[in-house]
Amino acid sequence: MKGEPVLRVRDARRHYVSGDSVVRALDGVSFEINPGEVVGILGPSGSGKSTLLLIAGLLEPPTAGEVFIRDRCVSSVGADLDSLRDFRRDNIGFVFQKANLIPFLSAVENVALALEIDDVPSRPARAYAEHLLESVDLAHRIDNLPTRLSGGEQQRVAVARALANDPALILADEPTAALDSVRGRQVIGLFRQIADTRQAAVAVVTHDPRVLDLFDRTIELRDGRIVAEKPLSADGNNSLQNATAAQDRSQ
């Protein structure tokens, strides 16, 4: 089911001045993500993927262009992003390469904290945090400290934490980079499930060829521009997977 786009980025540019030169980290990028879609953002190192997530996540303003969330223009040149802190917390969930859990809090306390920061009283916060951890198959680990969880389990706690405020948009920067193939696919599978059940829009920056078949679409960046945008082909593959397979065969 498709509705209004959750995220719409229009002609976004982000230029950094460094001495006499200008780095065009993003150089005119436009795309949309619809409810229920999981989109992979690909591209070589330095192509602008993380910059795009920072701009879409309202953590940096663009040098030019606009970001719309559910048809509201929320960021453009010179936007006061500090004033969007509550909007960001209510609408966007972030997941990074490292889970960044608070080490002295248990899994359930880490997730509940995200709700308590939003003024949910501690008892219902804990109950909902338990529910979220159950939904990522961690019911048996809720009282464990992060050091007693595997890397994949920690990342699933981070996903549960990102879901705490029921965000319409989830942005993930290389969430599977530190995981083995099975756990990496589980994490993207979880995004897939969240997109299906909550109609969330999900963007995942990745270099990981093992998870590409789980995306509805991929956007490939190079030098700050979109150079390819692909739905998956009928055989479930896309060109990067094919290229990786060809490389594997030649070794």
Ligand X SMILES: Nc1ncnc2c1ncn2[C@@H]1O[C@H](COP(=O)(O)OP(=O)(O)OP(=O)(O)O)[C@@H](O)[C@H]1O
The residues binding ligand X (CB under 6 A) are 16, 18, 23, 25, 43, 45-51
Structure tokens at 83: 């004033």
If you search the block for the tokens 């030019």, which residue do you land on?
Answer: 64
Q: What element of type H or E holds 32?
A: strand 21-33
Contact 32, 75 (CB under 8 A): no
| CB closer to ligand X, 47 vs 63 | 47
- Please say which residue, 23 or 145, places its beta carbon nearer to ligand X: 23
Q: Which is nearer to ligand X, 87 or 209 (CB)?
A: 209
Q: Are strands 217-222 and 225-231 parallel, antiparallel or unpaired?
A: antiparallel
Smallest distance, ligand X to C-beta of residue 41, A: 9
* Between 13 and 141, CB nearer to ligand X: 13
Q: Give the amino acid at 134.
A: E
Q: Minimum CB separation from ligand X for residue 234, in Å? A: 29
Task: Write down the least CB distance from residue 15 to ligand X, Å.
Answer: 9
Nearer to ligand X by Cβ, of 27 and 109: the residue is 27
Minimum distance of ligand X from residue 223's CB (angstroms): 9
Minimum Å distance from CB 95 to ligand X? 15
Distance of CA 44 to the CA centre of its chain: 18
Give whichever of 28 and 46 is closer to ligand X, judged by the CB atom.
Answer: 46
Strands 201-205 and 169-173: parallel
Residue 103 beta carbon to ligand X: minimum distance, rounded to whole angstroms: 25
When the beta carbons of 42 and 125 are compared against ligand X, the nearer one is: 42
Spatial neighbors of 45 by CB under 8 A, at least 6 apart, are: none
One-letter amino acid of 28: G
Are 127 and 115 in contact by the 8 Å Cβ rule? The answer is no
Q: φ, ψ for residue 192 (rounded to 5)?
A: -60, -45
Question: Among 221, 160, 219, 223, which residue's Cα sits nearest to residue 7?
Answer: 219
Nearest in space to 183 (alpha carbons), one of 129, 136, 130? 136
Nearest in space to 224 (alpha carbons), one of 8, 3, 1, 11: 11
Residue 206 Cβ, how far from ligand X at the closest point, in Å? 10
